[in-house]
Amino acid sequence: MIGLATIGTSTITRNLLDAVAEDPRVRHTVVCSRDAARGAAFAARSPTRADSPRVVTTIDDLVAADVDAVYVASPNIAHHSQALAALEAGKHVLVEKSACVTAAGWQQLVDAAGRHGVALLEANRNSIWHPGTAELRDALPRIGRVRMSQLSYCQRSSRYDRFLAGQLPGIFDPRMAAGALMDIGTYPLETMVELFGVPEAFSTDAVRLRNGIDGAGSLLARYDGHLCSVVWSKISDSPGPSVIQGEDGTITVDAVEDPGVIEVRTAGTVRTTRIPHRRVRDMAHELSAFIEATESPTRCALPHRWTSERLVLMEQIRERIGVELPGR
pLDDT tens across 16-41, in order? 999 999 999 999 999 999 999 999 99
Residue 280's pLDDT band (boundaries 50, 70, 90)? low
DSSP 322: T
Residue 17: name the closest of 60, 66, 58, 52 by CA: 52
Q: Regarding predicted confidence, which is higher, 46 or 192?
A: 192
Average pLDDT of the chain to the nearest whole number: 95
- C-alpha–C-alpha distance, residues 53 and 30, integer Å: 5
Q: What beta strand segments (E) does the chain contain?
A: 2-7, 26-32, 54-56, 69-72, 92-96, 120-123, 146-154, 201-208, 214-223, 226-233, 242-246, 249-253, 261-266, 269-274
Q: Domains, the chain, ranges and CATH?
A: 2-121 (3.40.50.720), 131-281 (3.30.360.10)
- Decide if 143 contacts 266 (C-beta within 8 A): yes
Q: What is the 3-state secondary structure (H, E, C) of 3-31?
A: EEEEECCCHHHHHHHHHHCCCCCEEEEEE
Q: Render pLDDT for 83-116 as a digit per residue (tens, 0 to 9).
A: 999 999 999 999 999 999 999 999 999 999 999 9
- Give the pLDDT of residue 47: 79
Q: Note the maximum CA span of the chain.
A: 61
- Give the pLDDT of residue 125: 85
Q: In what order do the strands lie in the sheet with 2-7?
A: 54-56, 26-32, 2-7, 69-72, 92-96, 120-123
- Give the pLDDT of residue 277: 74
Average pLDDT over residues 207-232: 98
- Give the pLDDT of residue 49: 62
- Give the pLDDT of residue 46: 83
pLDDT at 51 over 70: yes
Q: Render pLDDT for 246-279 as a digit per residue (tens, 0 to 9).
A: 999 999 999 999 999 999 999 989 999 999 876 6
Q: Render pLDDT for 314-325 as a digit per residue (tens, 0 to 9).
A: 999 999 999 999
Residue 1: name the closest of 33, 22, 27 by CA: 27
Q: Render pLDDT for 164-207 as a digit per residue (tens, 0 to 9).
A: 999 999 999 999 999 999 999 999 999 999 999 999 999 999 99
